[in-house]
């Protein structure tokens, strides 16, 4: 699959934080929208509170917690916040049982709902990264009052839209954005999909969109999940394993429940967050390619896209020929050398059309003109030059080599 023309290249929804894209009928907020918030940690409540205060006053909020200290704080909070209610729950199932057991029947009364929960690092060394993850979740669900209204407008204007998820976290030590996030949860997610009666394939090669259960949803999109008669006993008792349990399958099955109901899923971001994320990605990508070029000769996205294919082809060429040359001593030729060094192939030398402005040795490897090389049936050439020079070089090599099969084009674009 091309890294540029990926099937997942249109799944981002970016909405303004500071202004409305369209006026919202305030009367529908109380009738159509609910926000479910599960909180467990009393000491971080004030941080989440600033986002909770962004929720338009007409929207109904349902809080769940099993923490007595936190319940007291929430009781004080809702005294000044109409349309708010605390629903009792035990801690079994954690945040998942909040929306599938404690609040399930309430959710089914609405058209749209948002679910959020708090989080805390498991390892003190991951505190900064976990805080960035939490920020990504809450900022992109409840970024501002205008933003929340823009999400409702987005659902209203796009009847095929079923699920809006926060973007996959991208921090210094959280690598979810660059990996397949099934981990040990593919089989249990497929099992859950069958249990819910979902149709359609779940592809193990495509990473799930949801990492965690924080999202906005159209109730109809998740109806098969919400209408199932979940019980607290369906979920594992504490301590909950880090992976491979029902809770981990539920967070990954969300997009497939929506798809089964005929709805699309997207990642949603505030415009401010999207700007931060783009800058972060650009910086990381620039640093990554700088290192990839130095170590593997990867200069273009094309090189990365074709890495496995090129690896196989060059391994076959280097098995076939005892004497391998690189034609081209510029950037492309040197990057080709780095790639060959990675697969532990030693070349006989570089070839250039003429020695003008060329060094006699590159990394201790001799540089020859074409006329200086005596080719035989054990000689192969990798052409690593710009496209505009290739036709002439291929014509010259035809007169020297026994077959064009002895030539490999490193840069065919």
Domain boundary among 251, 285, 319: 285
Backbone φ and ψ of 400, nearest 5°: -105, -35
12-15 vs 215-218, strand pairing mode: unpaired
Residues 222 and 130 in one domain: yes
Tens of each residue's pLDDT in the chain, 413 residues: 444 444 445 789 999 999 999 999 888 999 999 999 999 999 999 999 999 999 999 999 999 999 999 999 999 999 999 899 999 999 999 999 999 999 999 999 999 999 999 999 988 999 999 999 999 999 999 999 999 999 999 999 999 999 999 999 888 888 888 889 999 999 999 999 999 999 999 999 999 999 889 999 999 999 999 999 999 999 988 877 788 899 999 999 999 999 999 999 999 999 999 999 999 999 999 999 999 999 999 999 989 999 999 999 999 988 999 999 999 999 999 999 999 999 999 999 999 998 887 899 999 999 999 999 999 999 999 999 999 999 999 999 988 887 778 899 998 87
Residues 223 and 310 in one domain: no
Q: How far apart are CA 270 and CA 267, in angstroms?
A: 11
Answer whether residue 246 is part of any domain. yes
Backbone φ and ψ of 365, nearest 5°: -100, 130
How many independent structural domains does the chain possess?
2
Answer whether residue 295 is part of any domain. no
Residues 262 and 378 in one domain: no
Residues 214 and 335 in one domain: no
Answer whether residue 271 is part of any domain. yes
Q: How far apart are CA 395 and CA 411, in angstroms?
A: 17
Q: How many CA atoms, within 13 angstroms, populate the side-chain half-sphere of residue 329?
A: 22
Residues 273 and 311 in one domain: no
Domain boundary among 235, 259, 285: 285
Q: How far apart are CA 46 and CA 50, in angstroms?
A: 7
In whole angstroms, how far apart are CA 15 and each of 79, 112, 152, 274, 404?
Answer: 31, 17, 11, 9, 54
Domain hosting residue 318, numbered range: 301-409
Q: What is the CATH number of the domain that holds 392?
A: 3.40.50.720
Residues 255 and 318 in one domain: no
Q: What is the CATH number of the domain that holds 131?
A: 3.90.550
The 3 state secondary structure assigned to 100-114 is HHHCHHHHCCCCEEE
């Amino acid at each position: 699959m091309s890294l540029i023309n990926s099937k997942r290249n249109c799944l981002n929804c970016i909405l303004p934080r500071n202004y409305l894209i369209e006026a919202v009928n305030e009367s529908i907020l109380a009738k159509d929208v609910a926000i479910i918030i599960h909180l467990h940690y009393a000491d971080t409540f004030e941080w989440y509170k600033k986002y909770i205060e962004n929720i338009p006053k007409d929207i109904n909020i349902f809080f769940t917690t099993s923490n007595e200290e936190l319940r007291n704080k929430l009781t004080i909070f809702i005294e000044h916040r109409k349309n708010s209610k605390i629903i009792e729950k035990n801690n079994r199932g954690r945040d998942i049982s909040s929306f599938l057991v404690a609040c399930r029947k309430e959710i089914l009364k609405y058209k749209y709902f948002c679910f959020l929960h708090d989080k805390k690092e498991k390892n003190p060394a991951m505190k900064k990264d976990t805080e960035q993850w939490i920020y990504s979740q809450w900022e992109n669900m409840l970024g501002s009052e205008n933003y929340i209204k823009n999400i409702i407008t987005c659902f209203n204007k796009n009847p095929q839209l079923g699920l809006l998820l926060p973007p996959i976290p991208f921090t210094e030590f959280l690598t979810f954005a660059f990996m397949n996030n099934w981990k040990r949860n593919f089989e249990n997610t497929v099992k859950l999909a069958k249990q819910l009666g979902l149709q359609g394939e779940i592809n193990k090669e495509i990473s799930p969109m949801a990492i965690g259960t924080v999202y906005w949803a159209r109730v109809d999109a998740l109806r098969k999940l919400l209408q199932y008669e979940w019980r607290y006993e369906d979920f594992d008792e504490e301590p909950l394993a880090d992976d491979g349990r029902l809770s981990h399958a539920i967070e990954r099955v969300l997009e497939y429940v929506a798809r089964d109901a005929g709805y699309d899923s997207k990642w949603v971001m505030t415009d401010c967050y999207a700007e931060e994320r783009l800058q972060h990605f650009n910086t990381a990508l620039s640093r990554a390619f700088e290192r990839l070029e130095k170590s593997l000769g990867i200069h273009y996205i094309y090189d990365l896209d074709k890495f496995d294919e090129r690896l196989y082809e060059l391994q076959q060429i280097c098995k076939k020929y005892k004497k391998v040359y690189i034609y081209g001593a510029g950037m492309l030729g040197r990057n080709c050398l780095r790639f060959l060094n990675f697969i532990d192939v030693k070349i006989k030398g570089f070839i250039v059309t003429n020695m003008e402005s060329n060094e006699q040795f590159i990394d201790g490897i001799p540089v020859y003109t074409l006329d200086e090389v005596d080719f035989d049936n054990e000689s192969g050439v990798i052409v690593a030059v710009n496209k505009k020079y290739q036709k002439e070089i291929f014509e010259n090599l035809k007169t020297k080599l026994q077959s064009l099969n002895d030539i490999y084009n490193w840069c065919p674009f």
